[in-house]
Amino acid sequence: MSSRAPEVVIVGAGLAGLACALDLTAAGRAVLLVEAEEEAGGRMRTDVVRGFRLDRGFQVFNTAYPQVKRRLELKSLRLRPFTSGFVLAGADGSRYLVDPTRHPGRAGDLLPGRVLSVRDLVALGLLGARDAALPAAVLKRAPEASAARALRRAGVSQRAVDEVLAPFLAGVFLEDRLETSSRMLHLVLRSMVRGTLCLPQDGIGAVPGQLAALLPRQALRFGVRVDRLTAQGAVLADGTELRARAVVVATGAAQAARLLPGLEVPAARGVTTFYHAAPVSPLREPTLVVDAGRQVLNTVVLSEVVPGFSPDRRALVSTSVLGTDADEVRVRRRVGELYGVDTAQWEPLAEYRIAEALPAAPAPLALSRGTRLSPGRYVCGDHRATASVQGALASGARAAREVAADLAASRW
Ligand SMILES: Cc1cc2nc3c(=O)[nH]c(=O)nc-3n(C[C@H](O)[C@H](O)[C@H](O)COP(=O)(O)OP(=O)(O)OC[C@H]3O[C@@H](n4cnc5c(N)ncnc54)[C@H](O)[C@@H]3O)c2cc1C
């Protein structure tokens, strides 16, 4: 915001609010972005606990998202890649299911019959190639079903769906029945094949941090919670009224429904991430381990991905579990089984129980919903698009376009 009064108040400095604020500022509009917390980023933030860098829930950064390419200066994020693929760990040992073009030395378990049949390998290869090659717009319009049904239709056997795909994708969709829309499945596969999964050197919070730094300092206020909206603008928790020609609600879904009664919002998917410090790294590589037994979703030695996430020689291990009521002792025991190590000496560092990690995205899924609700009132966020970094940024961009068009036309 310049010294002018804001024309637009945006509520929430997650990715959607940041994208909206940046685009409106670039369009010459006076914007005030208010954030309840003391930092931008929303669900994408990083804490430092006893010297360890802990993202608020395990997440990965994908370089292939169009909004990421458009907005972020990737070099200064100093990205560190994960192994492209994962280890499937179960009762009969661990198998590497990795991209053979990027990790040819690790591709032995892809030989037909070891984990997947010839038919499954061909079906999955064709599916990945097709999703990577087709324009996203085509995938977004394709006939829709559940992810489970789409995989079966692509020729993947029920066994491969149940024993390989569902355990892996549960960590992506945060649900293990594969009821998520097939459109989401295809977009996720597309971005995985085309991009690199990685983490910034300073943690996932560096992503929104870079965007927030691009805003004029006066355009962003922290520690400011919006209590309700009025015909003239918004009222803060301390009773102050912010007047503006337009208000954009860029909070998560549940908070948006509180500020905008009657707003239809999807159910939420919950996840818990446990962080442990281990005296010795249980796996000396940056590879995600997926639990074939589905007791946990996945586990990874994050200090193998970004050594700086640990302040010393101890390893930082992240483990995620569906829902919000998992027990740390049981989780640690299971992680020991997956890595084949004794975890008794592992030190619990933190646990993040996130009830509203992702909006549910079952079919039919509206991949990009309009943001204009009524004159001067807008809503954006990942719950209005795909449940992802790409979706949140794209929804914020859409809100900015719609607000800018309405302000220019002075519709009210
Ligand atoms: C554990 C986890 C793992 C994930 N993994 C991935 C992944 O691997 N890949 C991927 O693409 N996506 C992933 N996501 C999803 C991605 O992080 C989100 O889709 C995205 O960050 C949502 O951004 P948003 O701006 O829509 O909402 P949010 O990030 O929720 O931002 C909303 C903001 O509004 C603020 N706010 C709320 N109420 C008020 C109020 N009344 N007044 C002022 N401010 C308010 C909040 O404090 C918050 O900062 C993951 C999410 C989680 C939680």
In tens, the pLDDT along 164-176 reads 999 999 999 999 9
Of 32, 33, 43, best ligand 1 pocket probe by most atoms within 8 Å of the beta carbon:
43
Asked if residue 229 lies in contact with residue 377, where contact means CB atoms within 8 angstroms, the answer is yes
Interval 279-285 mean pLDDT: 98
pLDDT band at 319 (very low <50, low <70, confident <90, very high): very high
Using alpha carbons, select from 352, 374, 380, 371 the residue that is nearest to residue 12: 380
Using alpha carbons, select from 247, 262, 252, 261 the residue that is nearest to residue 384: 252
User: End-to-end distance of the chain based on CA atoms, in angstroms?
Assistant: 22
Question: Has residue 99 got a pLDDT over 50?
Answer: yes
Which pLDDT score is estimated for 366?
A: 85
DSSP letter string, 185-224? HHHHHHHHHHS-EEEETT-TTHHHHHHHTTS-GGGEEES-
Question: Has residue 14 got a pLDDT over 60?
Answer: yes
Which pLDDT score is estimated for 207?
A: 98
Q: Which CATH architecture has domain 8-44+205-266+363-409?
A: 3-Layer(bba) Sandwich (3.50)
Which pLDDT score is estimated for 1?
A: 42
C-alpha distance from residue 73 to each of 303, 362, 382 (Å) = 23, 33, 22
Asked if residue 358 lies in contact with residue 338, where contact means CB atoms within 8 angstroms, the answer is no
Radius of gyration, CA atoms only, the chain: 22
Question: Has residue 40 got a pLDDT over 60?
Answer: yes
Percent of the chain at pLDDT above 90? 94
Distance 205 CA to ligand 1 centre (A): 11
Report the relative pairing of strands 197-200 and 79-81 from DSSP bridges: antiparallel
Using alpha carbons, select from 106, 64, 114, 111 the residue that is nearest to residue 85: 106
Percent of the chain at pLDDT above 70? 99
Distance 261 CA to ligand 1 centre (A): 20
Per-domain residue ranges for the chain? 8-44+205-266+363-409, 46-81+198-203+268-359, 116-194
Nearest ligand 1 atom to the CA of 225 is: 42
What digits encode the pLDDT tens for the residues 349-398? Answer: 999 999 999 999 999 998 889 999 999 999 999 999 999 999 999 999 99
Q: Is 357 in the pocket of ligand 1 (CB under 6 A)?
A: yes
Question: The domain 46-81+198-203+268-359: what is its CATH number?
Answer: 3.90.660.20
Distance 388 CA to ligand 1 centre (A): 9
Distance 18 CA to ligand 1 centre (A): 11
What digits encode the pLDDT tens for the residues 335-353? Answer: 999 999 999 999 999 999 9
Question: Has residue 412 got a pLDDT over 70?
Answer: no
Q: Is 208 in the pocket of ligand 1 (CB under 6 A)?
A: no
Query: Which residue's CA is minimally distant from atom 31 of ligand 1?
Result: 14
Question: Has residue 15 got a pLDDT over 70?
Answer: yes
In whole angstroms, give the CA distance from residue 30 to residue 358: 31
Question: Has residue 230 got a pLDDT over 60?
Answer: yes
Q: Is 387 in the pocket of ligand 1 (CB under 6 A)?
A: yes
pLDDT band at 321 (very low <50, low <70, confident <90, very high): very high
Question: Has residue 327 got a pLDDT over 60?
Answer: yes
In whole angstroms, give the CA distance from residue 170 to residue 85: 15
Interval 223-242 mean pLDDT: 96
Question: Has residue 105 got a pLDDT over 60?
Answer: yes
Show the tokens assigned to 89. Answer: 């760990």
pLDDT band at 214 (very low <50, low <70, confident <90, very high): very high
118: Cα separation from own chain's centroid? 32
Which pLDDT score is estimated for 2?
A: 41
Show the tokens assigned to 399. Answer: 């809100």
C-alpha distance from residue 163 to each of 30, 115, 156, 159, 231 (Å) = 53, 9, 11, 6, 53
Asked if residue 334 lies in contact with residue 274, where contact means CB atoms within 8 angstroms, the answer is no
Interval 204-232 mean pLDDT: 97
Asked if residue 223 lies in contact with residue 38, where contact means CB atoms within 8 angstroms, the answer is yes
Name the one residue in this structure whose structure tokens are 């459109």: 183
Interval 140-154 mean pLDDT: 95
Q: Is 385 in the pocket of ligand 1 (CB under 6 A)?
A: no
pLDDT band at 5 (very low <50, low <70, confident <90, very high): confident
Nearest ligand 1 atom to the CA of 391 is: 19
Using alpha carbons, select from 156, 73, 79 the residue that is nearest to residue 122: 156
Burial class (CB in 10 A: 0-12, 13-18, 19+), 294: middle
Nearest ligand 1 atom to the CA of 41 is: 49
In whole angstroms, give the CA distance from residue 16 to residue 346: 37
Task: Report the amino acid identity of residue 258.
Answer: R
Q: Is 37 in the pocket of ligand 1 (CB under 6 A)?
A: yes
pLDDT band at 4 (very low <50, low <70, confident <90, very high): low
Distance 124 CA to ligand 1 centre (A): 31
Report the relative pairing of strands 315-322 and 298-301 from DSSP bridges: antiparallel
Nearest ligand 1 atom to the CA of 392 is: 26
396: Cα separation from own chain's centroid? 15
What integer best gives the mean pLDDT of the chain? 96
Distance 307 CA to ligand 1 centre (A): 26
Query: Which residue's CA is minimally distant from atom 33 of ligand 1?
Result: 12
Distance 14 CA to ligand 1 centre (A): 6
